[in-house]
Amino acid sequence: MTGNYGPAAAAAAAAAAGNLTGRTVYIGNIPEDASADELLNLVRFGPIESVKILSDKSCVFISFLDGATAAAFYADAAVKKLALRGQELRIGWGRESNLPTSVAIAVQYNQATRNVFIGGLTDEDTEQTLRADLVRFGDIDQIKIVRDKNIAFVHFLSISVAMKVVSALPREPAFKTKRVSYGKDRCAYVPRAQQAAVRQAVAQATAAVQSHTGQMGGAYGYGAPGYGGYGSASFDASGYPTGSGGFSQNGFMDPAQIGNRSIYLGNIAADTTVEELCNNIRGGVLESIKVLPEKKCAFVTFVDPAAALAFFRHSEQNPVTIAGRRLRIGWGKALAPVSPKLLQEVQQGVSRNVYIGQITDFEVFTQEKLRVDFSEFGEIELINFLKEKHAAYVNFTTIDAAQKAIAGVKGKDDYASLRIAHGKDRCGYPPRQPRSQGQRRDLSPRTSDNDPIAAAIAAAEASAADNAEVDLEAIPSPPVDAPSPAEAERVAEGQSA
């Protein structure tokens, strides 16, 4: 699948980007007896999460790990008219969906793919015997044996099936002496002769996707197609996509920023508050924000790397200005990925914002009282009230502080009759758009704790009708083979410009 990716491909990619969770591509008019092996030989853009074949309807649905890869494949197929056995295939979009959390965690921490590597084969192990044994787990795409190395690669039709295989086989007697792990998805491999063309297609698709993401980010910053952090616009020397991250000046992804979720904000006035910064940050839930006044900079850590990338790119087209100063936006030091536990909690609604509901007497629960009672748990960014809803919000600078506050305050007598839960992080809402192309207003009026109008506006924005308490007991534990939360949450301290 090579060719010239010109305006037509770019247009197709832009159209594809309109589907914000569009990581599933529909392929119709498939020959009746065509195999998955034959069909997937046409896919050379990125790792696949799952393949669903509907033989009775002569169609298949291919779900990629991320929307950018799906958009690139869609653009390529739409422009060049895919064909199998001389029969032209129909290309469209499947139903929108998010990447399952269990798969996302396995991909991020265990490099899971739908390809299972098996080492230490004997002469008795053949393609036929392996297929007969392993088909019990799920449908198989293809099996390749490298006899001189006594290894095999078994491609299943989904990562979830491969996860079961990798987990189960080492415990079975027949595989006790064999090595079982994940291999690279053959659909992520791009022959050297095709890399330039595929790179251009993916770059066009990714740019189109990020343009839409900047305008239409999801409520919790998961508005980027698919699951953040699994793009494939950059390729290593062997032709395998290297993941998602920042873009270099030539429009391609900078490998140094792959998966980076930390943003540097420079040229900040000495009296700029963390509240003012948060008023200008949109597009993703924050894990933390740290201001260094003496260095006139701040570091913003998103939960989702895709949200960090979306903010970075949006700020390139829409400069952030506070108190007449245009901020410098760059990448901070790459941090460890969020732990599986925290990732699941955020998807359930955990944030750095603490919601306090069912307040009947605001003369008792004043801003001063809340600041005193909550300051012991961490630095507070903003306290605001929504009195008509009998609610108050305490926004911390870290999710960790908010979690400690919820656990600690529930044990205080003054708060026993109140509802304490996580509110929504206002930074997770879609980016604001400037009034006009030629004039951009300062998006951060200097609010203060004593400004009731500004506080009401901020509270209304932070509030939502579905501010429901998160049931942490319902959140499953991370997989046993994933790193512990302590290991995954290690971050570099003392970041500097």
Least confident of 131-145, 165-179, 283-297, 449-463: 449-463
Is 36:228 a contact under the CB 8 Å cutoff?
A: no
Beta bridge partners of 119: 151, 179
Pick among 3.40.30.10, 3.40.50.10300, 3.30.70.330, 2.40.50.140: CATH of 342-431+440-474: 3.30.70.330
SS3 426: helix
Residue 338 backbone phi and psi in degrees, to 5: -65, 150
Summarised one tens digit per residue, pLDDT across range 311-323 is: 888 888 889 999 9
| pLDDT, greater one: 344 or 408 | 408
Residues of the chain with CATH 3.30.70.330: 1-97+192-253, 114-183, 342-431+440-474
Three-state SS across 54-109? Answer: EHHHCEEEEEECEHHHHHHHHHHHHHHCCEECCEECEEEECCCCCCCHHHHHHHHH
C-alpha to C-alpha distance for 469 and 464, rounded to whole angstroms: 12
Is 37:141 a contact under the CB 8 Å cutoff?
A: yes
Vertex 460, ends 457 and 465: CA angle to 5°? 175
pLDDT at 20: 43
pLDDT at 195: 55
SS3 355: strand
Has residue 399 got a pLDDT over 50? yes
For residue 394, how many other CB atoms are within 10 A of its CB?
29
pLDDT at 229: 31
How far lies 292's CA from each of 298, 377, 382, in Å? 6, 20, 18
pTM over the 0.75 mark: no
pLDDT at 194: 55
| pLDDT, greater one: 447 or 376 | 376
Per-residue pLDDT band at 406 (split at 50, 70, 90): very high
Contacts of 139 (CB under 8 A, 6+ apart): 36, 53, 156, 157, 161
| pLDDT, greater one: 476 or 87 | 87
Least confident of 13-17, 396-400, 425-429: 13-17
Q: Which amino acid, 364? A: V
Is 361:387 a contact under the CB 8 Å cutoff?
A: no
Summarised one tens digit per residue, pLDDT across range 457-496 is: 444 444 433 333 333 333 333 333 333 333 333 333 334 3
Q: Report the run of H or E that residue 311 belongs to, with start and end.
A: helix 305-317
Is 274:345 a contact under the CB 8 Å cutoff?
A: no
For residue 247, how many other CB atoms are within 10 A of its CB?
21
C-alpha to C-alpha distance for 444 and 315, rounded to whole angstroms: 15
Pick among 3.20.20.80, 3.30.70.330, 3.40.50.300, 3.30.70.1230: CATH of 114-183: 3.30.70.330
In terms of Cα–Cα distance, which of 415, 426, 407, 412 is closest to 470?
407
C-alpha to C-alpha distance for 113 and 184, rounded to whole angstroms: 7
C-alpha to C-alpha distance for 409 and 357, rounded to whole angstroms: 13
CATH code of 1-97+192-253, in short, is: 3.30.70.330
Has residue 436 got a pLDDT over 50? no
